Structure 1
Amino acid sequence: MRKTYLLLSLLCTVTMVYAHERSIEEKLAAASTVVRSTQPAMAKANAAGQKLRIQHSSEMLTVIGNDNGFALIANDDMFNAVVGYSDNAFVLDENNSLSWFMYAAGESMKARIADGKPSYAPTAPDTERFKASIAPIVSTTWNQSKPYNDLCPKDTKGNGYPSGCVATALSQIMKHHRYPVHGYGRKSYSFSPSEGVGELLSAEFESTYYQWDSMLDNYISGQYSAEEGNAVATLMFHAGVAVEMNYTPSGSGAYSSEARNGLMKHFGYNKNISLLYRDYYSQKEWMNFIFNELSNERPVYYAGSDKQRGGHAFVIDGYDENGFVHVNWGWGADGGNGFYDIALLNPTGYSFSIGQDMLIGIALPDKDIRYEPQIVSDHTMSAAKITDALINVAVGQTVWNLSGDAWSGELGIILKGNGQEYVLAQKPVKTTPYLYNVLSNMEGALGGLLSLPSGLSDGEYRLFTASKGSPDKGWSLVRRKDGQTNSYLMDINNGKVTLNAANDDSWPSTGIKKISGSNAAGTYYDVYGRPAASSTRGIILHKQGNGIRKIVVR
């Protein structure tokens, strides 16, 4: 792993001023360096004369490898040479998830080139906050065919429908946690196939005890017992019922929101599982969520979609020092599992990335998991100074609830700085019944002309739109599309006010203040709530009574 990181780093350090297509020799050299370093067996195979070859090519990517591994190489040297690598043989047939990644990576590159953005680099983990790298933590390499789909409904020819990528991803994550002992409640739903007669699919979760010890990491035909096959088939089918899987011969699908609800309602997982949407996070903040989950040994459910290939769900269960995440595609032991630059799929302002989402906080119910609010807006925030005591604020035309649950609380316009927090305006809102994404009671402006608090001391403040609901411990940023203005920096100097638009999203935190060294007695935590020593370098949080303060240790 360390050797791979150093080699990748060398490939990633050169920034080209004038982009051009890499030559065949350059592509082979980049792939050879990565493939040879990934597994000793691969190096031996190369040494024995098994040469690397071009296995697939498209407008933006070339796949180079052999029977023991492959690398995805960017054709244009505006980008790092390596986009992904695996120690599996490259097989694209029917692997819709890997196909989706390659398509999305290519579209992202084209968007960046069209927008004239020559500088891109993967987001490497901040080693002061996260582990430098994490080897894959999910041991299973399951897929969607036999025996996994043995209990799934069958088509008119008697063939079992695929178990579905959502069920496969959830099942592998649950196998990692080996939880629950049994399910909760029961569920039935009507399944209407494209051909044949519909049927009622049901699962008795409460009375089913999942046989974790009987589930194998990989199933090979003729090498597992009926008990072992039934154990994994039961889990897969129950996961499918929990999410109301739409079974089809070409691939079975379900929504990520149903995956979240199913984990909590029928499998008893933590109530603070959060469904996050890629569009509302910067590249760095999105990757930090992933690094944090994996640093806490929690695999991430991840999904993506495009108009041509539909939706795809898979598991992220590790990362390397460059920030490439390890993906278990859910297509078996030879399904292209490997390390991929998921951060690349973020060309700000381009619509194809809308399909990306992930579930974080998939943990047992007794774990302390932070709830991540999902009150968002598709419109930019705007603010203007009228006088040094009066500002005009517009929060945007629409505000949505994307949490997947009914929500009620308040929207507010918050001014924060110098250890103080001021609510300039607020109003109660709630979701519409059966339309949880729609916030009602939005009539009437939140904002307009607002007076600033009197006696504000000189310094820097942040002005932003925020939400606060029952799960929240304080005001949380209403997130905007990546790149849109989500707040304003207000500078006060000798009573004179200056406003500047901002779109960064790594700053939101509630109740954090600076503290002098003389007041530093108490308990210390890192920014994700883990215990830390007061001498820990970087940002640590100091808890005194009911207050939380921020300390920067250099």
Structure 2
Amino acid sequence: MPFIPSFSLRTSLFALLVTAGITPIAAADGDISFRRAAAIAKQYVRLSTTAQRTLKSRTLSNRTGAPYYLFNDAGNNGFVLVSGNEAMGSILAVGTEAPLDTLHAPEGLQYLLEAYRERFQTVQKMSAADRKRYFTTFATNNSYTPVTPLLKSKWGQGYPYNNSVGGYPTGCVATAVAQIMYFHRWPEQGTGTKTYRTYDGNTAQIDFSQSRYAWNLMHDSYDRRNLTDDERNAIGKLHHDIGAAVDM
């Protein structure tokens, strides 16, 4: 996965770059230095002691060339991912509940961060005029209305969500769709049929009209929860049916 500097750890971006023998990409117009990234990050998180020490070093704090900077909150109450170039916008991601664990990042997050890295490399190759055009686009379209998360559920792909799929992971699409359906508590009953291929290569058919979804037996979180058979079956059936519907 791409290198992601985490300043809640006992290292700093450029110290690690030097000791690892990695040379930052040559600076381009609009590149964001560590010092500027830290100033942006302070609007969202409390900087760690390590990050503050890095700021005291003019050599380290003024360096550029990183595709992004990750600042985890000193109190582990969130994170902010700051862009490495203005043409990508200033903020790539913000979390308000927990730090971002880059050492155990799921595949989807790794893919997203790699995409940011590739985008940064593309920006480095742009002409000054193109970079200015991209920056102007972000600078003139940065107004937004903050809202709290609509979804309260925090579901995964393992137990008990996979209760009806033979112990296999439910699949990321099934888990995402399931949470949206749970938010709306809809539908109460399925419609239509679907022929799909199972994990073992067999063909199966499902009649969704035979499925009723017991939303009242589902929960926002299942961490260490003792479940009844009905509760396990309710969450399992929902994920099973969605998985079949989207060919997971």
With structure 2 as the length reference, what TM-score do the two structures score? 0.68
* 1:237 Cα offset (Å): 0.7
Q: Distance in 2 between matches of 1:241 and 1:176?
A: 20
What's the CA shift for 1:206? 0.6
Aligned pairs (5 A) from 1:44-443: 51=49, 59-66=66-73, 67-76=76-85, 79-87=88-96, 88-92=98-102, 93-116=104-127, 117-119=130-132, 120=135, 121=138, 123-124=141-142, 132-153=145-166, 160-191=167-198, 193=199, 197-245=200-248
* SS of residue paired to 2:121: helix
- The verdict on how the C-alpha distance between 1:61 and 1:53 changes in structure 2, with shifts beyond 3 A counting, is same
Q: 1:59 to 1:29 in 2, by over 3 A?
A: closer
Measured against aligned partners, the alpha-carbon deviations of 1:14-63 in whole angstroms (never above 9, x if no partner) come to: xxx9434513x433333232124xxxxxxxxx7xxx64769xxx951221
1:104 maps to a residue whose letter is: A
Q: 1:94 to 1:230 in 2, by over 3 A?
A: farther
- Write out per-residue CA displacement over residues 309-346 of structure 1, whole angstroms, 9 at most, x where no aligned residue: xxxxxxxxxxxxxxxxxxxxxxxxxxxxxxxxxxxxxx
The answer to whether residue 28 in structure 2 is matched with residue 28 in structure 1 is no
Distance 1:243 1:18, change over 3 A: closer
What is the alpha-carbon distance in structure 2 between the residues aligned to residue 140 and residue 105 of structure 1? 27
- What's the CA shift for 1:170? 1.1
Distance in 1 between residues matched to 2:109 and 2:51, nearest whole Å: 19
Contact 1:35 1:85 in 2 (8 A): no
Decide whether aligned partners of structure 1 residues 186 and 77 sit closer, same or farther in structure 2, where only a CA change above 3 A counts.
closer
Q: Which runs of 5+ in 1 are unaligned?
A: 1-16, 37-45, 127-131, 154-159, 246-554
Distance 2:161 2:117 in 1: 32
Counterparts of 1:388-537 in structure 2, within 5 Å, are none
Partners of 1:190 and 1:79 in 2: CA distance: 41
Number of residues paired by the alignment?
A: 198
Higher helix share: 2
Distance in 2 of aligned mates of 1:186 and 1:52: 57
CA contact (8 A) 2:81 2:94 kept: yes
Distance, in Å, in 2 between the alignment partners of 1:33 and 1:51 is 16
Shift of 1:146: 1.1
- For 1:30 and 1:79, the matched residues in 2 are separated by 14
Are the structure 2 counterparts of residues 94 and 236 from structure 1 closer, same or farther at C-alpha, using a change threshold of 3 Å? farther
What is the alpha-carbon distance in structure 2 between the residues aligned to residue 236 and residue 202 of structure 1?
16
SS class of match (1:206): helix
Q: Deviations over 1:205-228 (max 9, x none)?
A: 112110111111111123443322
Distance across 2 between alignment mates of 1:51 and 1:189:
54
Take 2:207 and 2:50, find their aligned partners in 1: how far apart are those partners?
51
Equivalent-residue separation in structure 1 for 2:118 and 2:160 (angstroms): 36
SS at structure 2 position matched to 1:233: helix
For residues 242 and 29 of structure 2, what CA distance do their matches in structure 1 show?
50
**Cα drift, residue 149 of structure 1:** 1.2
State the Cα deviation string for residues 484-513 of structure 1 (Å, max 9, x = none). Answer: xxxxxxxxxxxxxxxxxxxxxxxxxxxxxx
Q: Please provide the CA RMSD for this pair.
A: 2.9
Residue 194 of structure 2 aligns to a residue whose secondary structure is strand
Taking the aligned partners of 1:85 and 1:52, their CA distance within structure 2 comes to 20
Structure 2 counterpart of 1:74, one-letter code: S
The structure with more radius of gyration:
1
Q: How much has 1:112 moved relative to structure 2?
A: 2.7
User: Quick one: which amino acid aligns to residue 218 of structure 1?
Assistant: S
Runs of 4+ aligned residues of structure 1 deviating over 6 Å after TM superposition are: none
Structure 1 residues 152 and 31, CA gap change in structure 2 (3 angstroms):
same
Q: 1:32 to 1:133 in 2, by over 3 A?
A: closer
1:138-190 deviations in Å (ceiling 9; x for gaps): 2212111111112113xxxxxx2211111111111111221111001333322
- For 1:82 and 1:225, the matched residues in 2 are separated by 43
Point out where structure 2 has 5 or more consecutive residues left out of the alignment: 1-27, 53-64
So what's the TM-score if we normalise by structure 1?
0.33
Q: Offset of 1:80 from its aligned partner? A: 4.0
Tell whether the 8 Å contact from 2:162 to 2:170 is kept in structure 1 after alignment. Answer: yes
Q: Is the 8 A contact 2:84 2:120 kept in 1?
A: no
- Structure 2 SS opposite 1:99: helix
Cα distance, 1:205–1:30 mapped onto 2, change above 3 Å: same
CA distance in 2, matches of 1:149, 1:222: 15
